[in-house]
Amino acid sequence: MTKPVILTGIRANNDLTIGNYFGAIMPIIDMAKKHSDEYQINMFIPDLHSFTTPIDHNLLYDQILHNARVFVAAGLPLDNDNIYLYRQSYIPAHSEMTWVLDCFTGFGEMSRMIQFKEKSGSIGDDRTSVGLFNYPVLMAADILLYNAKYIPVGEDQTQHLEFTRDIAERMNGKFGDIFTVPEPVKSQHEFFGNDQGLRIKDLIDPTKKMSKSDESGRGVIFLSDDPAAAAKKIMSATTDDKAEINFDRQNQPGISNLLEILALTRGVSLDSVITEFKGQTRYGDFKSTVASEVEKFLSDFQTRLAAIDDNAVIKKLEQSERDLTPIANATLLRAQQVVGLRPKSNS
């Protein structure tokens, strides 16, 4: 395994939405296929991250396997030897490295993390876990264990990536060449492209993104939704009173969102859909077209998902975990040696 490493994670809990599918899953799969000849692709399921906020633990194990199956149904090839699919918690070095990095991380650094402030504010002090506070350190361990150079991250994760670079440089400066320092955010965007995936908007409030944590579910289409029920959600989507179909995110966010959904579910360019419907005035007919395509997309996807061989998925997970454990352990050993937990090599 001498190829440079691209690493990305697949969150394990909660049902996934079409926003997750088109905005994250498909870009990740396309990236993996595109770069797997020249790069080692590490795709891991961050199951330890899954309960930094409260969840139903009775569902987690099944959700881990389910989300792996979703990626396979979306086109992830299980027979590509350069693509590794593995569970974070099945490689104990992730947890062990986190503790080592913890002890060289400042309380102030973690306190300044924007995601922690936002999520802890919505949970409340009494229910905010140390795990949520500590999340970026575990993320740094996830990356540094495998000498990863490239990590596709959205805007909400750029601060965590910069922390990963900081802690790697700090440890290298104190102890010598231990870690591979990931490329900076600017270089990441240049490598992957600035567009890290589209953000499909909520059907009821098209000014905010479609979120799987939405409690009502009215504005969200989940991959597990009954296709006919999903079509009804499209028909109930918020539009406007302008009575003319135009792509204008600021003034017609609802219509613009539906145009994007239509293009994605059809697998065509947004421009072609805009041209097809530009200036039309019958919102009901337009919604019916979008609803039909969403219903067809979900039916086709759910058929593919039901046909996935669980044994093949588990076999891929277990083989990847066997292959990557020695790499993670070698990095962990270097860190343990320099901090004095293990004897240094004589060579």
Where does the pLDDT of residue 52 fall: very low under 50, low under 70, confident under 90, or very high at 90 and above? confident
**Catalytic residue, candidates 209, 233, 278, 287:** 209
The ranges assigned to domains in the chain are 5-198+310-339, 227-305
Tokens 């009173």 correspond to what residue? 241
The matching CATH number, chosen from 3.20.20.10, 3.20.20.70, 3.40.50.620, 1.10.260.40, for 5-198+310-339 is 3.40.50.620
Q: Read off φ and ψ for residue 15, nearest 5 degrees.
A: -70, 150
Task: Confirm whether 209 is a catalytic residue.
Answer: yes
| Residue carrying the six token digits 């692709």 | 41
Fold of 227-305: Tyrosyl-Transfer RNA Synthetase (1.10.240)
Which residues have C-beta within 8 Å of that of residue 122, sequence separation ≥ 6?
A: none
Q: Give me the pLDDT at residue 146, please.
A: 98
Q: Which of 33, 212, 296, 344 is catalytic?
A: 212
Q: 282: buried, middle or exposed (CB in 10 Å: 19+, 13-18, 0-12)?
A: exposed
Which of 138-147, 148-157, 202-211 is modeled with the greatest confidence?
138-147
Q: Is 232 a catalytic residue?
A: no
Q: Which of 34, 117, 119, 242 is catalytic?
A: 119
91 DSSP 8-state letter: S
Task: Give the lowest-confidence range in 153-162, 169-178, 235-244.
Answer: 153-162
- Band (pLDDT 50/70/90 cuts) for residue 341 is very high
Q: E strand or H helix at 45, and its extent? A: strand 40-45
Tell me: pLDDT of 152 over 70. yes
CA distance 203 to 239: 9
Determine the straight-line distance between the first and last CA of the chain, rounded to whole angstroms.
Answer: 22
What does 211-250 look like in DSSP terms, one character per residue? Answer: -TT-SS-TT--BTTS-HHHHHHHHHT----SS-S---BTT
Could you tell me if 145 and 327 are in contact, meaning their C-beta atoms sit under 8 angstroms apart?
yes
Q: At residue 125, does pLDDT exceed 80?
A: no
pLDDT for residue 116 is more than 70: yes
Q: Cα(213)–Cα(17) distance, rounded to whole angstroms?
A: 10
pLDDT at residue 213 tops 80: no
Question: Which range, of 20-24, 69-73, 87-91, 255-259, averages the lowest pLDDT?
Answer: 20-24
The yes-or-no answer on residue 212 being catalytic is yes
Tell me the mean pLDDT in the region 338-344: 96
pLDDT at 14: 66
Q: 């343990």: which residue's tokens?
A: 336
Q: How confident is the model at residue 347 (pLDDT cuts 50, 70, 90)?
A: low
Determine the pLDDT at residue 217: 78
To the question of pTM greater than 0.85 for the whole model, the response is: yes
Question: pLDDT tens across 281-308, in order?
Answer: 999 999 999 999 999 999 999 999 999 9
